[in-house]
Structure formats: C-alpha cells, structure tokens
Chain A
Amino acid sequence: MSGGHSTYTPTNGFTKWLDSRLPLIRVMNDNVTNFPTPKNLNYWYTFGAILTFCLAVQLVTGIVLAMHYVASADKAFASIEYIMRDVNYGWLIRYVHMNGASMFFLAVYVHMFRGLYYGSYKAPREILWILGVIIYFLMMATAFLGYTLPWGQMSFWGATVITNFFSAFDQVIPGLGSGVLEWLRGDFAVDDAAVKRFFALHYLLPFVIAGVVFLHIWALHVPGNNNPTGIDVKGPQDTVPFHPYYTVKDGFATAIFMMLFAVFVFYAPNYLGHPDNYVEANPLVTPAHIVPEWYFLPFYAILRAVPDKLTGVLLMFGAIGVLFFVPWLDWSKVRSASYRPVFRQFFVLFVIACLALGWAGAQPAEGAALLIAQVGTFYYFIFFIFIMPVVGLWETPRKLPESIAKAVLAKNGHAAVQPAQ
C-alpha cells in the first residue's frame, strides 16, 4: 500500500516463509505499526479512528438486529417492539445502532470540517478527499434507508417525502419523475415492496462503505497524512511511527467519544429521535411536521429554500455534488487555514452557515426560518464557488514554518520549558 520503501525484516523461519508468499506482516508493519506520521497531529485528527470505530459498531449491531427484524409493512413495527422487549439485550443493541448513526454523522462532520480547515483536499490528496465524499454520500443513503425500517410515522412519511423528490423530474420530461418514483418504491406508494428493498439495500451499503474506506485509507497512505501546518513532511525528524504514538492518542480520543456515545445510549436514547416514530406508519394520517433526522436538516433547509421543487432538489444534490470539486476550487498555494487569515474568517462563517441551515431545517419553511435558510444556502454555495477560488488568489498568507519539526520547536519554545502538551 505504502508509497515509501519497506522497513520490515522477517526474523524467523516462519515469518520469512510467509513473507515470500503472503507479505501480510510486512503490509501491517509498513502501513500501521511503523507508518511514518507527522508528529504534530492534534485531536481533530483522531476522528478518522473514531469513524472506523463507528463503522464497526454499526456493522456489528446491525447484523444482530437483522437476525430479529422482520422486513414487512405488517410486521416491521411489531418486530422492533419484540427486539426492544423480548430479545436478550435487544434494547441495548437497538439503542446503540440508533444512536450510533447520529454519532457516526457527528464524527464525519467534524472530520470533514477538519479536512476543509487544513486544506487536506489539496494535491496530492484529491482522490483521498473524493473517496471521502463518496463515503459521506453512501452514509446518507444508508441512514435514510435505515430510518424507514422501524416503520413508524416518520419512517413512512420521511421515505414518502424523500422519494417524492424524484417526481420533480416530471417538470423535465413528463412521466420521467413518476416513472422513476414507481420504480424506486416498487409500488405507487411507499409500502411493503419499499420496506423489503430498503432493508436489502440497508444491509448492503455499509459493506460498500467498508470497501470505499479501504480505498480511502490506501489513498491516505500514498501521500501520507496532511497536518495542522499544511506543509509537507521533510524527513524522519518530522514524523513518529504510527504505533504506539498515534494508536494511544486515537485510543484515548475514542474512549472519550465512547463516553459521549454511552450518555446518549443509556440516559437519553430517544433524545435525538422523533416521538412520532413510536407511532406505527399510517398512510391516512399525515404528521403535523415532517422532519428528517438532525444530520439531514441542513440539506432539508436547502431543499425548501426555494419555492420551485425541481430547483430545490437540484440545489440539495448540488450541495453535496460541489464537494467533489473542492480540490480544484481552492486556488490558494497554502493548505492550512491556520496560515490564511482571510480564508479562516470565511471558514468560520461557513461553519455558522451550516449550523444555521440545520436550525432552519427543523422549522416550518416560513418567516425568519425561511429567510435564514435562503441566506445560508446562498452563502453555502458562494463559499465554494466564489470565496474559495478568489480568496485563494488574492490573500497574502502568513509566513509558513520551514518544517514541522521547526514549527513544533517554535511553539514549545514560547511555552517555556514544559513537558509537551
């Protein structure tokens, strides 16, 4: 996997034999144990490990749930109650999976903002970034499919509203949208056929994600990690072996993250959910407000920011699509926003815009909330297609340190003689 040369020497007969047949230990050594990693990575860099943990949790709890869940419009809701009440520790498995999805998104948002801030998408890490965006897109699809499975009111109405997006394409070619819609649902309405296919796909996609994560980490290991200074690694004085330096740091951060996770699972398991999802799906009763899960709210706000349905749908997909082009939209020579005083301000505004969009997505699309959604949507796109390229050309960055090692020394020099951290 690694672009560099190997640091592994087999020592005994067996490892020599194995190494010339299947160099498993060599690959592990070069990519995990001894992988040279910049020594200045901060805690924002622990979210990759946290995400790997989240994916594993979702896979394990999901497979156990699938052993008891019944994918049918008649029995899905009852089978969830059976899991919650009668399956041994079923309540635990389900609450972990339910809240695990939220924790996964929380971590991926931190991870993505981190990448944007430190310019981790720039050459030579474009493919790494694009694979990340693909993972994010697959995560959204998986979460949407999973949310329909308990067959509560929000499951049903959420699935109905989201699949209805496609009917907007009737505005392009009459019949196209409704045709696609019927094909997706396998029926005229979201019903038994939809639950069954959504379940099949919800089981499949996480394994696709796991495959893309493998490519993502491969693509990370060719150029190596970026770091908070954004400057390239110049030599061994800038790096430490991944193990034990980063295994222990990632491990510590993951333990803290697990504590937050546990607080939700054990003390507020339904806090992030919607009470309506404990009411069985009923096509004849429309809930007062149909709101998606919190991690979709910014996109929901973008969707409803414009009156025209097709434009809304295109904007919403565009908001994800634009992420694919980020490596070529940023024309700055400097990676890290820490050395870009102007861009940094716009970045903070961008984070605020995303949060504001999330807030607006939870409100009915009218009055102040609608206005905030429109301003937020405008800024979201302007940030990528105008601010990124223009600020990159025009801004004078601060002076970059000569190397990571020098940057570290300079930082610690100011902090007098003290143990690190």
Chain B
Amino acid sequence: MKIRSMLATAGLLLAALAAPALASESEVALKTAEWSFDGPFGTYDAAQIRRGFQVYKDVCAACHSLKYVSYRNLSGPQGPFHTPADPKLGEDAVKALIDGIEVPDLDDAGEPITRQARLSDPFRSPFANEKAARAANNGANPPDLSVMVKARAGGADYLYSILTGYEEAPGDVVMQPGMSYNRFFAGHQIGMPQPIVSDDQVTYTEPGAPKASVDQMARDVTAFLAWASEPHMEERKRMGLSVLLFLAFLAALLYLSYQRIWADVEH
C-alpha cells in the first residue's frame, strides 16, 4: 500500500514534469511509420539498413557528411554488413561497396593527395568546409547526418516526413529563390531540393529487395540514419532486459528478507 502510493507519486511527478518539456514543437502532425526498431524489443532490420546505406551513398552523400561514422562500423559487430561466422565476408562486402570513394590524405612528402577510402576511414565528407558547402547549396548548409535522428523532435518519423513532404507551394506563399516547399519543415521553405524524386532512382541489387519506390527509399534511408545515430541500440535493449530481470530478482530477495527481519518487530 505504502509502496504503491510512493511509486505512483514518483511516476506522476516525473510524468508531470517531463512531458511538457518534451512536447513536439513542429507545427504539422508528422507522418508516422512503423519502424522495426520501435519499442523495447525492436531491432534493426539489417537488410533495410543495407538498402538505406545505398540510398545515402548514391543520393545524400553528394551533400551531407556522416563524419562520426566510419566505414568499418558497417561491417563491425553492430553493423548491417556484419557476418558473425566469418567477419571477413562482411568486410569484403563493404570494401567492394566503397571501392572508388576517394578521401583526402597527405603523401610522404606532406603533399595533399587523395587515395582510396579504407575501412578505418570516417565517411567521406562531400565538402572541404562549411563555406564550400554553402556556396554549393544556395547559401544553405547541409547538416551532418551522424546523429540527425536524435537531433530532431519526432526522430525517424520526422526524417521520413521531411523526405516525403515536398509539395507544390500553395498559391499565397512567396518562395525565396532556390527554396523548396516542404509541408513538415519549420517555416515550410527548405534549402534542400527534393532528394528522392522518382521510383528506382537507386537500384536495389540485393535478392529479395522490395521495389525502390520513393516511399520505400525514404523509409530505408531513415532506418539507415537511425542506425547511424544509435549503433548500440540492440545491445542496449538486450542488456536492459537482463539488468531488469536481475534487479527484479534482487528486489524480490530483499523484500522477502525485509519481511523476515521485521517479522518480530511491531512497526
């Protein structure tokens, strides 16, 4: 009785204090999708993330960096190309995919050169610096996407909405030069031209891959970026379950001891 009221109060206190601070700030209700990684038992769909990587590589990488993620993460233990039985297979698959990506480096004489990207390299950034990025994008800066899914209220739903939210501007809206109308972007004028425009813009090569519709590609690249933002999510949820089971067992033992120890005391 006492415990229950105590816990209820604690819960209420938290909910009351936390919820309003986190209320979404977007003006339009986001599109929602069902993500394989939702919920306490959700996991990443490796095939989907592999397709999403392809969309990123073929489309987004022209403008957006992903600088906190390295190619080795793709084939590493948390990655979508990981092959637990023989890690070499996954590494070779990633090497084949990044074949032809050139990254800047220095040669032995200290002269700047470019060379083939290695697994140990971070994802190649398309622009040398912010000024170059803005110059190429009408003054807008394409943000780094490494933690994008955690950096927007609404997370994956927000990204998916933005990617599929391009529309003809309503008649009464005056568009700034070089801007596109997006239903879900704050202020509706976005400096990113619609990146995923037509079906089969990216060719999905894996056997069993779904049709590369605009909607499918938007979902896939969003799932890839969700993984990039939180590569340890599966491990985290798995560990959480063990921790909670252990704590429940510990609490039960302590409760029984408590009953036993206090049995002879009027309190």
Contacts and interface: CB of A to CB of B under 8 A. Distances in A.
Q: Do A and B bind each other?
A: yes
Interface of A: 39-40, 42-44, 78, 81-82, 84-85, 91-92, 95, 106, 109-110, 240, 244-245, 248-249, 251-252, 255-256, 258-260, 262-263, 265-267, 269-272, 274-276, 278-279, 288-289, 291, 294-295, 297, 355, 358-359, 362-363, 405, 408-409, 412, 419-421
A109 B254 contact: no
B21 A362 contact: yes
Q: Chain B's interface: helix, strand, loop or mixed, by majority?
A: helix
Interface residues of B, number: 54
Interface string B231-265: 11000110111011001101100110111011101
Contacts of A421: 2, 259, 262, 267
B52 to A, nearest CB: 18
A85 B68 contact: yes
B151 interface: yes
Interface in B68-119: 68-69, 73
Contacts, number: 138
B150 interface: yes
Q: Chain A's interface: helix, strand, loop or mixed, by majority?
A: helix
A91 B236 contact: yes
Contacts of A358: 16-17
A350 to B, nearest CB: 14
B244 A110 contact: no
A236 to B, nearest CB: 12
A420 B262 contact: yes
Interface stretch (B3-11, B29-37, B175-183, B193-201): B3-11
A396 to B, nearest CB: 27
A248 B261 contact: yes
A288 B185 CA distance: 13
A85 B17 contact: no
A248 B265 contact: no
Contact of A255 (B2, B247, B266): B247
A294 B18 contact: yes
B17 A355 contact: yes
A212 B190 CA distance: 53
B141 to A, nearest CB: 10
Nearest to A257: B10
Counting from the closest, the 10 A-B pairs by CB-CB distance are A266-B240, A278-B151, A255-B251, A252-B254, A362-B21, A362-B20, A81-B68, A278-B150, A278-B147, A39-B267
